[in-house]
Amino acid sequence: MKSGKISARNESSRTDFLLLLALFVSFRLLTLFLLKPGGFIRDWSDFDTYLGIAQLSDFGLYPYLHFWLEWPPIVPWLMVGAYRLSLLIPVWGEDPRLWFVTILGTVFVLFEAGNFWLIFRLARRLLTDRADVLRVLAMYALLFPPVYAMLGFFDGVALFFILLSLDLLLANRFKWAGVAAAAGALVKLTPIVTAGVAAWLIWHRLKPNWRQVVRGWLGYGAALLGSLAVLLSPFLLTAPQWLVTHGRAVLGRSSWETVWAVLEGYFGYGQLMGDRLNPAETAFAVHPASLPWLWISLAFAAIYLLAFFARPKDLSPRRVLAFGGLTIVLFLLYSKGYSPQFLVLVLPFIILLMPNWAGVGYALALTALNVLEQPVYFVMLPDAHWLLSAVVGLRFAVFVALAVEFWGRVSGFRFRSVVSGQPMINQFHASRFTYHVLRISNLRAVFLTVVFLWMAALLPRAAGEYWNFQASRNSFVEGRFLAAAAGDDNPALVIAAPHFYQKEYAFLHDKYRMKIVDSNNFPIMGVPNPPTVDDAIRGEPYAWVLAQKQELVVRNLGDMGKVVTKYQRFDSDYYELQLVDFAGAGIAPPLLAAADNGIELAAATVKKEKSALTVQLFWHATGQLATLASMAVPHDFTVFTQLLAADGSYIAGHDSPPNNGYAPTGSWQENDLIFDPHTIKLPADLPPGDYRLVAGMYDASGTRLPFFAPDGSPLPDAAILVQTVHLP
């Protein structure tokens, strides 16, 4: 009778698994086919790199036969196979990557299904309650990082061989575990660390019988090394030099996205330099190593050996899996490099050993750190090195906490109440109030709360830098100019260009009363009787108006009021910006200084960044520009920007033709608006104080172009005072 109940329970468990597996696989297949891996932020993944590698086969070049890579051979050959199959299907014109990504991605989905199956098997070894097993499967199915990794990377394939090796070890099939570790090592090197788990299990199971321990190690090692030799034989027999170069590349590459990289002053992503068609290549490093890697390696080896030889409470599946998790986490802590997709190697251990709020907390904390790293840092804030430093520091702390968690499960030490255990309360004779406070405290919860609070504290600064970064790279010169020229009277800005309105609203809405109107070329769809320019300017004494040059809006403004001045982007006929006086208000255009030849400095901005000043000048070519052609001196001028001390002495500066030579003055046309950025490097020993930032122009002979103030008075030394800058 009892046997029948167990059989029914197992059958029900298998049914639950198959139902979840069907949903799991279909969700990932449809995600692969219908969603872009970068979402709205960036449509990019390593599939682009994989396609480039596979396309070399068009020229008869194949991995490890004609070139080396940073990855072992198995997946690169899967790339080639997927590409050759994709060539048999007509290309989808909207995206030629479609069939290649679909074929190779489907292979990754199959391995993900294998991961799901192995997690189910491991969960059944650890947990007796069917509901707990289903919870583990549901947690893995709902985690975001495995889906993200599957859409652009092959770390899920490496995870499959890690889990398979551990499952085989728990089944006492050590030789097959060695085969799985070897196959995994030829996908990515990480699965080879499961050999440490095998050696640990053999040691603690068979000691003190040294002969059996050595026999067990030799049997596993023979299976591992023999499988490596067999799988690598096609390349060892044909072109072994490429495998040798691959090994040198792995050992010679630089650190990235880890505390080690931050300590070495590198804030980029993982790269490997060198000519992949050269088997003698040695220049792999992106940056030189400055850390004592020998001592770091010895320190981590000592830590692992201490954990290895320490006696576990028992050799139950939970202890073995916990030691596997400890091995993976210590490897990631030691590793020179880290990429966000590596997280998938850790998550199964978290949810298998902590299928509760603690596991969810760790998983979400690491997921949030991944998002802050990619895409927030690498795509949205690539210059915010402080953000990457904070992310890798927090991740290092979380990995250390996980290492302690896993070791606690190996040794049998329970983190019940380092601050809330009854024995500790009795020892210190705490009051009843203190007892209740400490009783609800939990060291793990406190740690995770601190991690989340630290991440939350990063957001305001990150938001500010995102604002500044987007403002600095905004492509609309007119928008930058309007922001620089804005006064205090909050004038109307009438826009007949929806795209401009959307891009510039965040930067201009507090400086102008922005009004979007019907555009001749792009009417406001779905809006009955959309507002017109007449509606927008009604009651306005004056307004700025921006539209495409060919639009009726722009052509008819002269009939509505007096056009004070016009601006059009240099070397472009797309937009025209006009300042129009509708009520005889006598409004004057923005102006810092003007020259007799028709060149005006209309506006400027100055921003201190690190050890430099970023200066943005906005030159305007007026109707008098025709006199440039008749000047006795050449009419291509160089712009100077200078930082001067209070006594007028030169401190630093930057000279270049307008817009770094892309907008020479000799090519300016009437009404052109020229964006002209300059970066002034500041001396390291510059004392604090007030400094004058000036600008101007000079010709080929060094003679400065005379400029005049708005009231007509000549400026001393032909230098325009842009701003008085206070430097702390």
Of 396, 361, 390, give the one whose Cα is nearest residue 377.
Answer: 390
What pLDDT is attached to residue 554?
A: 58
Q: Which residue type sits at 121?
A: R
- 54-58, 97-101, 269-273, 523-527: which has the minimum mean pLDDT? 523-527
Lowest mean pLDDT among 106-120, 373-387, 524-538, 576-590: 524-538
Sign for the pseudo-dihedral over CA of 504, 505, 506, 507: positive
Q: Which two tokens mark 347?
A: 């998550």
pLDDT for 407:
94
pLDDT beyond 70 at 551 = no
Residue where the block lists tokens 């279909």? 26
pLDDT at 601: 96
Q: Which residues contact 676 (CB under 8 A, 6 or more apart)?
A: 616, 617, 618, 619, 639, 658, 659, 663
Q: In this predicted structure, what is the pLDDT of residue 544?
A: 92
Residue 421 has pLDDT above 50, yes or no: no
Say yes or no to pLDDT of 600 above 90. Answer: yes
pLDDT at residue 434 tops 80: no
Mean pLDDT of the chain: 88
Mean pLDDT confidence for 363-379: 94
Q: Give the pLDDT confidence score for residue 698 in this predicted structure.
A: 94
Q: If you average pLDDT over residues 395-422, what whole number do you get?
A: 76
**What pLDDT shows up at residue 10?**
64
Whether 437 shows a pLDDT value over 70: the answer reads no
- Whether the predicted pLDDT of 215 surpasses 90: yes
Q: What is the pLDDT of residues 239-262, one digit of tens each?
A: 999 999 999 999 999 999 999 999
pLDDT digit string, tens, across residues 105-151: 999 999 999 999 999 999 999 998 889 999 999 999 999 999 999 99
Q: How far apart are CA 295 and CA 178, in angstroms?
A: 30
Tokens found for residue 700: 């080929």
- How far is 183 from 170, CA to CA, in rounded Å? 18
pLDDT at 556: 64
Name the H helices within 287-341. Answer: 293-309, 317-334
Instruction: Report the pLDDT value the prediction gives residue 8, as an integer from 0 to 100.
Output: 56
Cis, peptide link before residue 37, omega less than 30° from 0: no
Residue 21 CA to residue 305 CA, distance in Å, equals: 39
Q: What is the pLDDT of residue 365?
A: 96
Count of other CB atoms within 10 angstroms of residue 200? 25
Alpha helix locations (H) across 56-97?
74-86
- State residue 555's pLDDT score: 59
pLDDT 10s digits, 307-318: 999 999 899 999
Position 632 pLDDT exceeds 70: no
Indicate the Cα dihedral angle 194, 199, 200, 203, nearest 10°: 170
pLDDT digits (tens, 9 = 90+) for 41-83: 877 789 999 999 999 999 999 999 999 999 999 999 999 999 9
Mean pLDDT of 445-456: 92
Share of the chain above pLDDT 70, in %: 89
pTM of the predicted model as reported, rounded to 2 decimal places: 0.85
SS3 680: strand
DSSP state, residue 598: S
- Residue-wise pLDDT tens digits, 644-686: 998 889 999 999 999 999 999 888 888 899 999 999 999 988 8
For the beta sheet containing 650-656, the strands, ordered from the edge strand earlier in sequence to the opposite edge, are 650-656, 638-644, 689-698, 720-727
705 exposure class (CB count in 10 Å sphere: 0-12, 13-18, 19+): buried
Q: What pLDDT is attached to residue 440?
A: 39
Confidence of residue 522 (pLDDT cuts 50, 70, 90): low
724 closest CA partner among 639, 669, 645? 645
Task: Quote the pLDDT of residue 666.
Answer: 85
pLDDT band at 430 (very low <50, low <70, confident <90, very high): very low
